[in-house]
Structure 1
């Protein structure tokens, strides 16, 4: 079984995929296709995706029994001791309550009344 997930891709690509796979919901395609068709379909997806993102999951023989391919995706497939996992990007932790970094009260506590280190 093959699953392809599209995000922000052109409608022409969506129409092309419906020739081979069943569209379950917007951007999610599922079906049983041969390895040759899968490779050619993925090549077509990467050519036509434009600024969109694509992710494909398909069956392979082995312990995990599946593999991933990603195109312009933030999550990247990584092999870890024979098991393929998806690595999420590490985003910096930003506190929206502190837009400038330190609040005025925290600056006073840290640097004293005049804003210099105590």
Structure 2
């Protein structure tokens, strides 16, 4: 199973994701695909996200049971800590 969550994604990317995945809520896509197909979807997200941001999570054979990657201008970034992937929350830049 994989889940893609987007914020401020361009319509072209949302349409592309809707071809492969089921949009269960605005900007939230789910589906079950092979690692190869997941990588192709991730490449399209990375190339088309523009000013938005996205996270892709999928089942994996690790202690957590899942893995994830983030794309775009996102304040939440994955970090490794004692063999676990956690989320670092970067402070907001002053306006």
Number of residue pairs matched by the alignment: 92
Alpha-carbon distance between aligned partners in 1 of 2:30 and 2:92, rounded to the nearest angstrom: 31
Structure 2: 5+ residue stretches without partners: none
Cα deviation for residue 89 of structure 1 reads: 1.4
CA RMSD of aligned residues (A): 1.3
Please say if residues 75 and 91 of structure 2, whose CA atoms lie closer than 8 Å, have aligned partners that are also in contact.
Answer: no
Alpha-carbon distance between aligned partners in 2 of 1:25 and 1:44, rounded to the nearest angstrom: 20
Cα deviation for residue 39 of structure 1 reads: 0.3
Q: Which residue in 1 is equivalent to 2:32?
A: 32
Q: Which residue in 1 is equivalent to 2:55?
A: 55
Structure 1 counterpart SS, 2:68: strand
Higher strand share: 2
Deviations 1:66-109 (A, max 9, x none): 111001211000111111111111359xxxxxxxxxxxxxxxxx
Change (3 A) 1:19 1:91: closer
Alpha-carbon distance between aligned partners in 2 of 1:90 and 1:37, rounded to the nearest angstrom: 34
Structure 2 counterpart SS, 1:17: helix
Query: Higher relative contact order at CA 8 Å, sep ≥6: structure 1 or structure 2?
Result: 2
TM-score (norm 2): 0.90
Structure 1 counterpart SS, 2:20: coil
Structure 1 counterpart SS, 2:90: coil
TM-score (norm 1): 0.74
